[in-house]
Amino acid sequence: MTNSLGYFAIQNLTSGNYRIQISHAGYRNFEKSVSVNSGKSSSLNVTLHPNDTLTEVVVTGVSKATLIRENPIAIVSVSSGQIQQTMAPNIMDVLVKHAPGVSVVKTGPNVSKPFIRGLGYNRVLTLYNGIRQEGQQWGDEHGIEVDAYNINRAEVIKGPASLMYGSDALAGVVSMFSYIPRSTDGKLHGNFTSEYQSNNNLLGNGLRVDYNNNSFFISLAASYRLAKNYRNNIDGRVYNTGFHEKTLSIISGFNKANGFSHFGANVYDNKQGIPDGSRDSISRKFTKQIFEGEDDIIKTRPVVDEKELNSYTLSPLHQHIQHYRIYTHNYYKLGSGDIDLNIAVQQNLRKEYNHPTVSEQPGMFVKLNTLNYSVRYNLPSLKNIEPSIGFNGMIQHNKNMDATDFPIPDYDLIDGGVFVYAKWKQQSWTLGGGIRYDLRQVKWKDFYIQHNPETGFDQHSFTGEAPDAVLQFPAYTKRFKGFSASMGITYQATDKISLKANIGRAYRAPNITEIASNGLDPGAHIIYLGNRNFDPEFSLQEDIGVSARYTDFSADISIFNNNIQNYIYQNLEVDANGDPLVDAHGNRTYKYQQAKAQLYGGIVVLSTPWYAERLSI
């Protein structure tokens, strides 16, 4: 890339499809999809406004069927520049500020779960470098286990995406991509990030070192973030909302003329408080739990002093999340087609400490092992038709470790789906659609618990032969299956205005807590009751959108209508008087149920300025 008086030329682009992203300081990201004919090289010329400040120019090869401009489903791209220039407590809060129609539900500053068009939890699929993010994400206090400093860009699919990803993409997909070194000069490069946030006195530092000689690259990244309790205008500091987070990542790869192979590994370690919101009835100051069971009377809990509220030290009542991941991504051309292969192994350890008198004993301790796989083959184009076939899924095993509370059983899950997709292009028209079939099996054996007189807590009974053993989770085996489909059309009315329409059927199998839960979640302080007879959710969603891209402004208008069959929701259990059903410690009981649901709405986005005066190939 050369630079002369605001003129940039990106040269020697080999044959293939590319997405060009240009970011300006303080301005919205410009994006264009281009194609380079086989056997030819080309260059990209960009002329900037004299007052513009260029922050980045990114050229990435993308799969034929995922070009944003041609995709009938709404996709928002968030660039590296936008991420770096946005101050927020975590990566999900950053993405929300650049993706209209996306929101989060928060549990303290370090846990934000994405919602797309009113749907979240297991209805929004999160990807990291193309791999499903698999942890214990079914609860409010379960966040996204990634290094925010090492996320280079992101894409948000707004709408049903089960066709490509299977279950859990009913509402959409949040896809994050880590940093890959762009400089190919064969020299060592580094980057150091440091931040301070005054609200919770957050101290954050991230270091990245990378090398790329065009044929081989490697990047190492590490970060550390710690924060006190955050503050609001009413309470001041909110007790037990601090956190300590550490991460370590490595990614390396080999680039060849016909493709690439990437290999990566991540370690994520996070300790964060679990706020329960208990307060003194007179002063309304926060109180803390110091006793167990019947000795814990909420009205007589001691008030948290100012020194503890203003400390980086975490409460003994906190959760500890560890996430480990090893993965590989491989993309190669095969004749006139190409193949994309992802394989990953993940382990998620979640401990929730809720015993103040025995602080080293976790109330919940679960270990989830996951094997992810994904294969996609883009066949050679035939008369303007670009077909693709593929399959993906996962194998999981969840196990309860040394704990005292058991909200979910030990279970095994096998999941897989196969799809066919095709895209037809003719002048200004693009028509795309496909069909998919998914199958998921969930099973577990009888799971017993019994009282341990030495500790005073419950424990897992492996045989169930003890006289006081209780069958917490009766044995269960069930298969969930379903068809997903999508059909959409895009019309490029002018070089500035495009119209999109899509109709999609999405599928989601019930998650483990919706099926099996039968007890207290110590972190959420809620008693969950599942339903073993649930059927999968199916949604039928229609989308219509118009996009305009001009030099001085851009505009996006979209409307959607989503009808869901067998929608699963939590219903508060009440007694004969209509009052919430609670246990001796004030924990409320929620039971999962199913019903029909309809969600509809629209989004209007106007942005200005839009500086990218000439972009040609």
Following DSSP, what letter does each residue of 424-486 receive, concatenated? EEETTEEEEEEEEEEEEEEEE--EEEEE-TTTSSEEEESSS-STT-EEEE--EEEEEEEEEEE
Task: State the greatest distance between any 2 C-alpha atoms of the chain, in Å, as a whole number.
Answer: 84
Element at 607 (helix H, strand E): strand 588-607
Condensed to tens digits (0 to 9), the pLDDT of residues 91-132 reads 888 888 888 888 888 776 677 788 888 888 889 999 999 999
CB 92 within 8 A of CB 72: no
Q: How confident is the model at residue 536 (pLDDT cuts 50, 70, 90)?
A: very high
Mean pLDDT along residues 175-189: 90
Instruction: With a cut of 80, say whether residue 498 has pLDDT above it.
Output: yes
Q: Could you give the angle at the alpha carbon of 527 between the alpha carbons of 402 and 522, nearest 5°?
A: 40
What does the alpha-carbon distance between residue 138 and residue 611 come to, in Å, rounded to a whole number? 42
CB 31 within 8 A of CB 7: no
Count of C-beta atoms within a 10 Å radius of residue 585:
14
What is residue 99's predicted lDDT score, i.e. its pLDDT? 82
Q: What are phi and psi of 246, to 5 degrees?
A: -130, 140
Predicted structure pTM score: 0.84
Q: What is the CA radius of gyration of the chain?
A: 26
Q: How confident is the model at residue 61 (pLDDT cuts 50, 70, 90)?
A: very low
Mean pLDDT along residues 544-555: 85
Mean pLDDT of the chain: 84
Mean pLDDT along residues 280-297: 88
Mean pLDDT along residues 563-582: 89
CB 415 within 8 A of CB 395: yes
- Give residues with Cβ within 8 angstroms of 425, minimum separation 6: 70, 384, 386, 431
Instruction: With a cut of 50, say whether residue 275 has pLDDT above it.
Output: yes
What does the alpha-carbon distance between residue 78 and residue 81 come to, in Å, rounded to a whole number? 8
Q: For the sheet containing 74-78, what is the strand order?
A: 74-78, 151-158, 172-178, 124-128, 131-132
Q: How confident is the model at residue 203 (pLDDT cuts 50, 70, 90)?
A: very high
Residue with tokens 């508060």: 572
Q: In terms of Cα–Cα distance, which of 446, 471, 524 is closest to 277?
A: 524
Query: Between residues 7 and 85, which one has the greater pLDDT?
Result: 85
CB 160 within 8 A of CB 504: yes
What does the alpha-carbon distance between residue 37 and residue 205 come to, in Å, rounded to a whole number? 44
